[in-house]
Amino acid sequence: MSETVTERLVALASGAPQASGRLGAGIPAPESMRRQLSIRAVAVLAILASAAYLFWRATQTLDLSVWWLSVPMLLLEVHALVSLLLFTAPLWDLDAVRPPAPVDSTVAGLAVLIPTYNEPVDVLLPTVAAAVRISLPHQTWVLDDGDRAEVAALADAMGAHYLTRAERTHAKAGNVNHALGHIEADIIALLDADHVADRNLFRNTLGYFEDPRVALVQTPQDFYNVDSFEHHDQKARRWLPWAPGGARRSVRFSEQELFYRALQPGRNRLDAAFCCGTGAVIRTGALRSVGGMATDTVTEDIHTTIRMHRAGWKSRYHNEVLARGLAAADARQYLVQRVRWGTGAMQVLRRENPAWVSGLSFKQRVSYLGPLLGWFDSWRTLGYLLAPMLVLLTGAVPVRAEARTFALAFGAVFVLQRAALRLLSRGMAPQGIATIFEFIRLPATLLATGRLFSARERNFVVTPKGRTGDKRARMQVPRLLSGLLVASVASAAWFVASTLGLTPTSYAVPWVAYAASAWLVVNAVLLSVAIARIRRERFGAERRASVRFDVTGTAQLGGVPAELVDASLTGALVTMARDTRRVPQFGESLVLDLELGAGSQRFWVQVKSVRRPDGSSAVAADGYVIGLELRHGQDRERAGLALALFATGAPPRLVAPKTPEPSEHPAPLARPALAQALVH
């Protein structure tokens, strides 16, 4: 890669990369003691109130004449308390370990390993380009289980080593273990094929390894495709008085943020932060001492960490975004991931259960049981969906209590539990959207947890990345969710018919039936929202080979002035003035010159569309909208562009065009129209 081009593109941005959720990418400021005490006080109060409530429920309200319903409902509430306890343990203190100073020089041998199997070159290119540019001397290895000539050529062009193997057993874990026999490094960093690293990945994590017993430093997984299925933009609840028109502040929800920015940092206190497969920095000697990456589960990351902890090694979590990857773009990708993760958790529980294996401390056992047993929360969700249906269909009364007494007791505990969950999660899991995702992943987690009792070997299933379809086809809704919604509607109809005396069901305690019907309606609404999200056209099959970034920059297309509107590693969108002297034609090959800081960079492109904002091919009053596709064979140039768009540690930013004179070109086109002008 040209050093001049690379340095020029790296200089386009500065600062830390934007995170895709509520928190910034940097290390969060330590919480004040006052805030910590208030969170802990509410959590303890919720736990004590829940325990007292459950004692009252078990001794005073249980109707054993309908034990088949009353006992399971009580057990669901007991499970909720256990989950709250396991949730509280890691979130008690997020600041137990503060980060060390950055390391600017080291005698340790460093290597970056990028395992890949079938990911497209367009996904791999920014990962490899950024990995080569990580600070401190190191080697970069592309571990290709696909044995592809184009990936070998990419690695060579980027200055990385390429390694493949003849026998591709044990998927990613086997791939990494094979590499351990070919590299000489004291510390390795693992990056998934789609994870683009910040230059400070080694610099900001090596300080932890001054403790000779530290084997692993894990960093957060974060994502650059913020329009993914896992992200949701919503308005903040607080009004901002100074905002124009009293508008609310927009907050982005990232489904994995709670885990990576709160639960994992909290495990530092328990010495139980675990490897998450990518963004992990590992002491090679520690990894070799436990036989390499675990190969007998499909979640080799957490399994390997358990073995390290059993052997006496320590782990640390560095709560700073130092790599960003691709989040699941649609429901299918999302569910495929969750099935694999859940299946791996069940394999760990069967083969190396932290509850009773030797070598772990009590705190580590509690910490590991939280995420492993957390997969069973979906059975509680399913129970809460089925319970009101059973009450309305059978007329059974599972709670024997006066309406007002039960409402006050249940309501107080429910509010306290919700408050505790919100405070413990530090606002990263708003109850509404978090519950929607609970419903969405229900089919995957039920399938995965059912495998706890199956000894059948499960293959590692790679999550599809990059282009997954030629058109934006809506996703199919899992049958379980459709069936539950139909059952909810049928139960509501049965309730109405029963109240009119049209069925043999009667409701001996009316308030129980009315409460169940209200519960049913809430469930049905949440199910409908979950299904609607899965079916949204926005989350259909991914047509783009790489993520598109909204950027602003000056450009020349075929020597004619233009303005850059968005760019990706496969294409760009530009606008040209209405009175331009020559309009590009569809299919024409041209040169695109982009102004990139200290100079310009040239790309060969093909015109894929010539449109105005309303989508027609005629000239618009504002000018032309030109869709461009980068021609193949420009990996060096695209690598430089990747560093500017992905890996420089800042929001993507090219050089903004100067304010135009009225005679030069018209005003910029409206963004809503531009967003629909081209899919590339």
Instruction: Give pLDDT, residue 264.
Output: 96
Helix axes 510-535, 431-440, angle to 10 degrees: 80
Give residue-wise pLDDT tens across range 193-212: 999 999 999 999 999 999 99
Task: Among 116-120, 384-388, 634-638, name the one with the lowest average pLDDT.
Answer: 634-638
Average pLDDT, the chain: 85
| Catalytic residue of the set 122, 198, 271, 301 | 301
Confidence of residue 6 (pLDDT cuts 50, 70, 90): very low
Confidence of residue 545 (pLDDT cuts 50, 70, 90): low
The better pLDDT of the pair 139, 461 is held by 139
Instruction: Give pLDDT, residue 632.
Output: 82
Give residue-wise pLDDT tens across range 49-60: 999 999 999 999
- Cα(225)–Cα(228) distance, rounded to whole angstroms? 6
Q: How many CB atoms lie within 10 A of CB 577?
A: 17
Q: What amino acid occupies position 240?
A: L
Q: Are strands 214-218 and 161-163 parallel, antiparallel or unpaired?
A: unpaired
Cα 550 from chain centre: 21
- Cα(117)–Cα(463) distance, rounded to whole angstroms? 11
Tokens of 453: 């009792």
pLDDT at 385 over 70: yes
- Mean per-residue pLDDT for 274-286? 96
Instruction: Give pLDDT, residue 26.
Output: 87
Contacts of 247 (CB under 8 A, 6+ apart): 240
Q: What amino acid occupies position 117?
A: Y
Is 145 considered catalytic here? Answer: yes
Instruction: Give pLDDT, residue 13.
Output: 36
| Catalytic residue of the set 145, 198, 330, 635 | 145
Nearest to 481 by CA among 409, 411, 531: 531
Q: Are strands 560-567 and 571-576 parallel, antiparallel or unpaired?
A: antiparallel
- C-alpha to C-alpha distances, 602 to 11, 134, 557, 599, 634, nearest whole angstrom: 17, 25, 10, 10, 10
pLDDT at 93 over 90: yes
- Kindly state the DSSP code that residue 484 receives in the 8-state scheme: H
Confidence of residue 25 (pLDDT cuts 50, 70, 90): confident
Instruction: Give pLDDT, residue 18.
Output: 62
How many alpha carbons fall within 13 Å on the CB side of residue 316? 25
Confidence of residue 538 (pLDDT cuts 50, 70, 90): confident
Q: Where are the beta strands (DSSP E) in 318-413?
A: 323-325
| Residue pointed to by tokens 């091919």 | 617
Confidence of residue 635 (pLDDT cuts 50, 70, 90): confident
Instruction: Give pLDDT, residue 104.
Output: 94
Give residue-wise pLDDT tens across range 328-349: 888 999 999 999 999 999 999 9
Q: Are strands 560-567 and 549-557 parallel, antiparallel or unpaired?
A: antiparallel
- Cα(375)–Cα(349) distance, rounded to whole angstroms? 11
Dihedral pair phi/psi, residue 613, rounded to 5°: -55, -30
Which of helix, strand or coil describes residue 677?
Answer: coil
Dihedral pair phi/psi, residue 488, rounded to 5°: -65, -45
Instruction: Give pLDDT, residue 411.
Output: 95
- Mean per-residue pLDDT for 464-469? 50
Is 271 considered catalytic here? Answer: no
pLDDT at 174 over 80: yes
Instruction: Give pLDDT, residue 596.
Output: 57
Q: How many CB atoms lie within 10 A of CB 24?
A: 15
DSSP alpha helix (H) spans, 267-361 = 284-289, 300-310, 331-351
Which of helix, strand or coil describes residue 352?
Answer: coil
Helix axes 377-394, 442-450, angle to 10 degrees: 110
pTM listed for this prediction: 0.85
Instruction: Give pLDDT, residue 54.
Output: 97
Confidence of residue 640 (pLDDT cuts 50, 70, 90): confident
Tokens of 416: 């306290």
Confidence of residue 669 (pLDDT cuts 50, 70, 90): very low
- The side-by-side arrangement of strands in the sheet containing 323-325 is 196-197, 323-325, 222-223
Tokens of 423: 């405070």
Q: What percent of the chain has pLDDT over 90?
A: 62
Q: Where are the domains of the chain?
A: 548-675
- Mean per-residue pLDDT for 638-662? 52
pLDDT at 247 over 70: no
pLDDT at 484 over 60: yes
pLDDT at 151 over 60: yes
Dihedral pair phi/psi, residue 673, rounded to 5°: -70, -40
Tokens of 214: 């530290």
- Mean per-residue pLDDT for 159-187? 94
Q: Is residue 81 left, alpha or beta, with left meaning phi > 0 and alpha meaning psi from -120 to 50?
A: alpha
Nearest to 534 by CA among 340, 382, 337, 332: 332
Nearest to 225 by CA among 7, 62, 467: 467
Contact by Cβ (8 Å): 140, 159: yes
Confidence of residue 305 (pLDDT cuts 50, 70, 90): very high
Give residue-wise pLDDT tens across range 410-451: 999 999 999 999 999 998 988 889 999 999 999 999 999 998
The better pLDDT of the pair 18, 223 is held by 223
The better pLDDT of the pair 538, 196 is held by 196
pLDDT at 652 over 60: no
- Cα(592)–Cα(595) distance, rounded to whole angstroms? 10
Q: What percent of the chain has pLDDT over 70?
A: 84
- Mean per-residue pLDDT for 307-319? 97
- Classified by CATH at the fold level, domain 548-675 comes out as Thrombin, subunit H (2.40.10)
Confidence of residue 547 (pLDDT cuts 50, 70, 90): confident
- Mean per-residue pLDDT for 456-470? 54
Instruction: Give pLDDT, residue 1.
Output: 43
